[in-house]
Amino acid sequence: MEARALPADLATVMTQVAASLQLPMELDDTLRLIVDSAVDTIPGVDEASVSVTTRDGRINTRAPTDPLVLRADMLQYDLGEGPCLQAALEAPVLHSTDLASDERWPRYGPAAVKLGFGSQLAFQFRAEPHVRGALNLYSMRPYGIDPEVGQLGALFAGQVALAMGWARHDETMHQALASRNVIGQAVGIVMERYRLDPDRAFAFLVRTSQTGNVKLRLVAEGIVGGVTDQATTDLAHS
């Protein structure tokens, strides 16, 4: 894949974002940045949301990218079945490749299809011992989400947990980043350039993406490409 150069004004955005990481940010704003970037970045994902449980057993949705997602989440809570509900309460990862024919959720699946969804993927994150949640990823198409995106989905789930002050997902940030090539490279560059740890370096990419209105993948490619171009220039003048 050929790395793309960043827009000229994005350097200013990156400087502003780096400074903003030292300041507090509203939780809902942070969650919206994360779910929007997940939709922009993960192949096949059209919508996303976050399910959060409480210590008294309630569950609710935060940062849905569309009202239809909120309706789908609420259906799962009301029916007592579905990927996002069971990921939040039980299983670390749940993937329904075809909601219309998935026998695990006989009531929810057909109802989700009526809303326009074809497949779904959910990742659990948790704060021991009682509180859990899930990052919910939706596709409008059956088989729309490749199961191989698991590492990248886990990375975003870990960021949600971090934003909420919870323990990270069992899939560590280092493992997830290592599997995602250009994003992992960009995080390493940002860590060195701005002296940030892996979590804040990834948050830097997410905020830069949203502030500059540039997809996360393109931000990462631009950062990696910029370093490569600079190295080539330095070599040519050595």
For the cut 50, the answer to whether the pLDDT of residue 5 exceeds it is no
The domain boundary, picked from 123, 145, 167, lies at 145
Are residue 74 and residue 105 in the same domain, yes or no?
yes
Are residue 85 and residue 111 in the same domain, yes or no?
yes
Total domains in the fold of the chain: 2
> CA-CA distance, 133 to 127, in Å (whole number)?
9
Global pTM reads: 0.70
Per-residue model confidence (pLDDT) at position 69: 97
pLDDT digits (tens, 9 = 90+) for 99-114: 999 999 999 999 999 9
More confident of the two residues 92 and 178: 92
The domain boundary, picked from 126, 145, 164, lies at 145
Determine how β-strand 47-53 pairs with β-strand 131-139.
Answer: antiparallel
The domain boundary, picked from 91, 117, 145, lies at 145
**Look-up: residue for tokens 């309460």?**
89
Determine how β-strand 119-127 pairs with β-strand 131-139.
Answer: antiparallel
Residue 57 domain-assigned?
Answer: yes
Residue 154 domain-assigned?
Answer: yes
pLDDT digits (tens, 9 = 90+) for 164-183: 765 444 444 555 555 567 88
Per-residue model confidence (pLDDT) at position 22: 53
For the cut 80, the answer to whether the pLDDT of residue 84 exceeds it is yes
For the cut 70, the answer to whether the pLDDT of residue 17 exceeds it is no
Are residue 79 and residue 115 in the same domain, yes or no?
yes
Are residue 191 and residue 217 in the same domain, yes or no?
yes
In terms of Cα–Cα distance, which of 79, 152, 71 is closest to 113?
Answer: 71
Domain range for 36 is: 7-43+148-225
Are residue 196 and residue 155 in the same domain, yes or no?
yes
For the cut 90, the answer to whether the pLDDT of residue 83 exceeds it is yes
